[in-house]
C-alpha cells in the first residue's frame, strides 16, 4: 500500500469501511430532527467511538456527547470534548477515574438507579474533593436498568445525592424497547412512554425541591419517530450515524443508508454447493444475530460487490472465527470469483465496528477497488 | 490502583482475568497428549493471542505455533517466534505482508485449497523474490474450507506450487465438526476421519512425487480424544489453553478447568424480579450463544462469586451493549449485593477474550478482591 492516497484495493481484508457521504446524510437528518423536536442533540458515541465522527455529528464542532464506557469518556476528553454523559449506570469501580476527569475540568455526568451507588458517589465525591454531576436513570418500560418513575426510591436517591453535596442534574431514560417495534407507529407509542416517564420523574424531583435541569431520552428509532418531546431537554441517539440491517428492518432507514461495511475477500468458491468463503468471520462481523427477530432474517449480514451494488439473495449464512460462508437460496456465488472483494452490511453495527481499531473512510464505493481512501479515523474500544 | 502489586479489587470492571494455575494444568495435559500420540504440538494461538501464553504452551520456550490472522503472525514474529503456520486460507490481499515476514527470516507457512490462489502465491513469490511454504487444506467433513482428499484438484494445486518454484510443505486438515459431537466416542470417530483424510491426501501427494513432510490436524476435542494419529506429524489445538463452557459441554473439561473469566460489578439489583445488572454486556462477553446447541444452555455465561465459587442456577440471561442481566430459575440474585463482583465463565472464550487488549493474571481466585494480580499480559487483536 502506498503511503499517499491509497485506494480500497490496496487495503488488506477484512477492513472496516465508512462511507462518509452516507454518514453525512444520516447526521444531517438527525440534526434536523433535533431542531424539529426542539431538543438538544447529545449524540451517543458508543457506536462510532470516534472523535472525527462525533464532531461531524454535532455539525463540525465539539459539543455535548454521550458515551457508554469510561475509556470513551477519557478518549473524548483527550480530544477536546468537555461535556460528556456516561449513560450506563456507573460502577463503583469507575468512580476514581470519573473523579480524575472532573478534576481535569471535564463536565462528566454519571448515572445511577439505586441508593447504594448514590451513596458510593457521595462518598467518592467527598473523599476526592470533587462534585459529581448525577442523573437518575428511570425505567420507561424496557426493564433493563432504571427505577420506575413513580417509585419512592426516586426521591430517596435524589436526597442522597443532594444532601451529600453532589449535583443532581436530572433524569435519564432509554426507551430501548423501541427495538422490539416493527412500525413507526409502534415506535412513536414507546417514544411517548419514554417522554412521559422521564417528564413525570423530573416533575416529581422538582416538586421535592430539586432543580432537575436536564431531561434526557434517547434511541435512534425513538428520535426519528417521536411525535413530541415536550418537557424533554435532550436526546441521545447513536446508531443513526451509520445505520445497519437491524435499523433498516425496524424502518429507520433503507439499505442504501447503511454507511459502514466490512470489506472482505473471497478465498474459496464451491459452485456445486452454491457457497463461497470470505476472510471475515465471527470476529470480523461479530456473532450478532439481531435480525433473526425481524421479518427479514439477514443471517450474519447482506452483501454488495466491491462497487457497493447489492448482491440480492446472498447472505453470510455461517461464521467461524475467521471464515464467513456466503450462500443463499436461488443465488449463484459463482458471480464472486476467488480473490474478488465484497462488502458485508452488518446486522448491528455497534457490535461489528467494535472489532476494529480504525475506519477506512471513503466517499462512496462506486469506484470499487480504485475508490480512494480519504482518511483513516481511529476508534476507541474496550473499557 | 497502586502501581505495585495490585489486587483484583483494585481493577475497574469489566476486566479479563486469567487464572494461571488452571491454564498450566490445561497446558500440561495437552503437552502429554502430544507425547502420547507421538506428534508435535503446534499450539493454535488464535484463542490466547499472547506471546506469554504461547511460550508456556510450548513448555517455556518459543517453538512452532499456529495463528489465524496476519496480525498475529506479525506480533508473534516480533516476539521471537520464527516457525508460524497461518491456518486460515490465505487471502491474496495478505501476500505482501506474508512475503515481508519471509524476507525477515520468519518460517511462515500459508495454506490454500484452490488453484486460483495457488497461482497468486506463485506470482507473489516470483515478484517478491521469496519462496512461500504452502500447505494444501483438505476438507475432512466439516465442509468449511479445504478440498476433498480424493479430489483431482489436490494434485493440480500441488503442481502449481511446486512448478512455480514454491515449497509444498504438506497437508492441513481441521476436523471442526468435532464441535457437533456430544461424547468422547463421537469425537474420536471424527478425529479418525480427520486423520485418515489428511494421511490419504499426503499419500496422494507423495505418490505424485512431492515430499509432503508435514501432515497437520487439529481441534481441541480431536486432540484430546483421538485414538491414534498414525501418519500425522503435528496437531494444532488452541482453545484447550483456557477452555470454556462449550468445551465443558462437549466433555473436554470440567467447569473447574475454565481459566479465563470476565470480572464484572453488580450495578443494580431487582430482588422482586429476581434479576441483577452487571457492567459486562454484549461487548464484554460477546454475543456468542454456542452453548444453545448443547444439552445445558448457559445463556451468555455462568457465574461465580468474587472468590471463584460457583453461583448455581444463575446465568447472564440477556445482554445489551454494556449491560448484562443476571437471572435464573430458582436463584436469588439478592446474594449479589450492589457493588460486589462476580466472574462470568464464557461460552466461547475465543470470542470473549477478543474484546480485551490484556489479561489480568492471577494464581487462583480464592482471595477474591484481595487476590494479587501477578502480571498483565497483552493480547493482539484485529487483523
Which residues 89-108 on chain B approach chain A with CB closer than 8 angstroms? 89-94, 96-97
A255-378 is classed in which CATH architecture?
A: Beta Barrel (2.40)
- By Cβ distance, the residue of A143, A325, A351 closest to B287 is A351
State the pLDDT at residue B3. Answer: 52
State the pLDDT at residue B4. Answer: 62
B287 touches chain A (CB under 8 A): yes
Per-residue b/e over B244-282, b at no fewer than 16 CB within 10 Å?
bbbbbbbbbbeeebbbbbbbbbbbbbbeeebbbbbbbbb
State the pLDDT at residue A286. Answer: 97
State the pLDDT at residue A2. Answer: 44
Q: What is the pLDDT of residues B31-68, one digit of tens each?
A: 999 999 999 999 999 999 999 999 999 999 999 999 99
State the pLDDT at residue A40. Answer: 98
Residue B196: CB atoms within 10 Å: 16
Per-residue b/e over A94-127, b at no fewer than 16 CB within 10 Å?
bbebbbbbbeeebebbbbbbbbbbbbbbbebbee
Segment B8-14 mean pLDDT: 97
ipTM of the complex: 0.96
Chain A residues with CB-CB distance to B357 below 8 A: 382
Opening angle at CA B87, ends B81 and B88, nearest 5:
130
What is the average pLDDT value for chain B, to the nearest integer?
96
DSSP-derived 3-state class of residue A13: coil
Q: How far apart are the first and last CA of chain B?
A: 32
Q: What is the pLDDT of residues B265-301, one digit of tens each?
A: 999 998 888 899 999 999 999 999 999 999 999 999 9
Instruction: Indicate which of B15, B91, B120 best probes the interface with A, i.e. most A CBs within 10 Å of its own CB.
Output: B91
How many whole angstroms from its chain centre is CA A187?
Answer: 18
A116 touches chain B (CB under 8 A): yes
Q: B1 pLDDT band (50/70/90 cuts)? A: very low
Residue A338: closest C-alpha in chain B: B116
State the pLDDT at residue A331. Answer: 74
Contact of B140 with B193, CB cutoff 8 Å? yes
Contact state of A116 with B339 under an 8 Å Cβ cutoff: yes
Tell me whether domains A21-241 and A255-378 share a fold: no
Q: What is the DSSP letter of B307?
A: T
Domain A21-241 in CATH 3.20.20.10: yes
Residue B319: closest C-alpha in chain A: A144
Q: Please state, in angstroms and as integers, the Cα–Cα distance from residue A105 to each residue in A94, A118, A203, A331, B97, following that order.
A: 17, 22, 30, 57, 44
Q: B334 pLDDT band (50/70/90 cuts)? A: confident
Chain A residues with CB-CB distance to B381 below 8 A: 355
Residue A351: closest C-alpha in chain B: B283
State the pLDDT at residue A3. Answer: 52
Domain boundaries defined on chain A: 21-241, 255-378
State the pLDDT at residue A1. Answer: 44
Q: What is the pLDDT of residues B300-325, one digit of tens each?
A: 999 999 999 999 999 999 999 999 99
Q: Give the residues of chain A that fall short of pLDDT 70.
A: 1-4
H or E stretch including A260?
Answer: strand A260-270
State the pLDDT at residue B102. Answer: 98
Contact state of B70 with A268 under an 8 Å Cβ cutoff: no
A237 touches chain B (CB under 8 A): no
Alpha helices in chain A (DSSP H): 20-37, 51-57, 70-78, 95-103, 115-128, 153-163, 184-207, 220-225, 245-250, 282-285, 349-353
State the pLDDT at residue A311. Answer: 94
State the pLDDT at residue B2. Answer: 44
Which CATH class for the B20-241 domain? alpha beta
Contact state of A354 with B357 under an 8 Å Cβ cutoff: no
- By Cβ distance, the residue of A117, A277, A355 closest to B339 is A117
State the pLDDT at residue A332. Answer: 79
How many whole angstroms from its chain centre is CA B268?
Answer: 33
A13 touches chain B (CB under 8 A): yes
Residue A211: CB atoms within 10 Å: 12
Interface size A-B, in CB pairs within 8 Å, comes to 148
Residue B188 has pLDDT above 50, yes or no: yes
A338 touches chain B (CB under 8 A): yes
Amino acid at each position: 500500500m502506498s503511503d499517499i492516497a491509497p485506494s480500497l484495493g490496496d487495503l488488506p481484508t477484512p477492513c472496516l469501511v465508512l462511507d462518509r457521504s452516507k454518514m453525512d446524510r444520516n447526521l444531517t437528518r438527525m440534526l434536523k430532527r433535533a431542531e424539529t423536536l426542539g431538543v438538544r442533540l447529545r449524540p451517543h458515541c458508543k457506536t462510532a467511538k470516534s472523535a472525527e465522527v462525533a464532531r461531524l455529528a454535532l455539525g463540525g464542532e465539539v459539543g455535548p456527547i454521550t458515551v457508554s464506557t469510561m475509556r470513551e469518556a477519557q478518549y473524548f476528553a483527550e480530544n477536546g470534548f468537555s461535556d460528556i454523559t456516561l449513560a450506563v449506570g456507573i460502577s463503583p469501580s469507575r468512580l476514581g477515574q470519573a473523579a480524575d476527569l472532573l478534576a481535569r475540568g471535564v463536565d462528566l455526568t454519571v448515572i445511577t438507579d439505586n441508593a447504594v451507588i448514590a451513596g458510593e458517589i457521595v462518598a467518592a465525591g467527598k473523599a476526592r474533593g470533587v462534585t459529581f454531576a448525577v442523573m437518575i436513570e428511570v425505567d420507561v418500560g424496557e426493564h433493563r436498568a432504571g427505577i420506575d418513575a413513580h417509585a419512592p426510591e426516586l426521591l430517596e436517591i435524589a436526597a442522597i445525592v443532594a444532601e451529600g453535596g453532589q449535583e443532581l442534574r436530572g433524569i435519564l431514560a432509554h426507551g430501548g424497547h423501541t427495538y422490539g417495534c416493527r412500525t413507526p407507529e409502534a415506535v412513536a407509542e414507546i417514544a411517548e412512554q419514554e417522554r412521559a416517564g422521564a417528564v413525570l420523574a423530573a416533575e416529581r424531583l422538582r416538586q421535592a425541591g430539586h432543580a432537575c435541569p436536564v431531561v434526557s431520552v434517547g434511541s435512534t428509532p425513538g428520535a426519528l419517530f417521536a411525535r413530541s418531546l415536550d418537557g424533554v431537554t435532550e436526546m441521545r441517539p447513536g446508531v443513526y450515524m451509520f445505520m445497519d440491517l437491524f435499523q433498516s428492518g425496524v424502518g429507520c432507514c433503507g439499505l442504501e443508508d447503511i454507511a459502514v461495511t466490512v470489506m472482505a475477500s473471497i478465498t474459496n468458491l464451491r459452485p456445486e454447493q452454491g457457497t463461497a468463503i470470505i476472510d471475515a468471520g465471527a470476529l470480523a462481523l461479530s456473532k450478532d444475530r439481531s435480525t433473526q427477530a425481524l421479518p427479514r432474517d439477514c443471517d450474519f449480514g447482506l452483501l454488495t460487490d466491491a462497487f457497493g451494488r447489492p448482491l440480492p439473495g446472498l447472505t453470510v449464512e455461517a461464521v467461524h472465527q475467521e471464515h464467513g460462508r456466503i450462500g443463499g437460496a436461488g443465488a449463484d456465488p459463482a458471480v464472486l470469483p476467488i480473490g474478488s472483494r465484497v462488502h458485508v452490511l452488518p446486522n448491528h453495527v455497534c457490535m461489528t465496528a467494535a472489532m476494529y481499531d480504525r475506519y477506512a473512510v471513503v466517499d462512496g464505493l462506486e469506484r470499487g477497488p480504485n475508490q480512494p481512501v480519504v482518511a483513516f479515523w481511529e476508534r476507541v474500544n474496550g473499557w
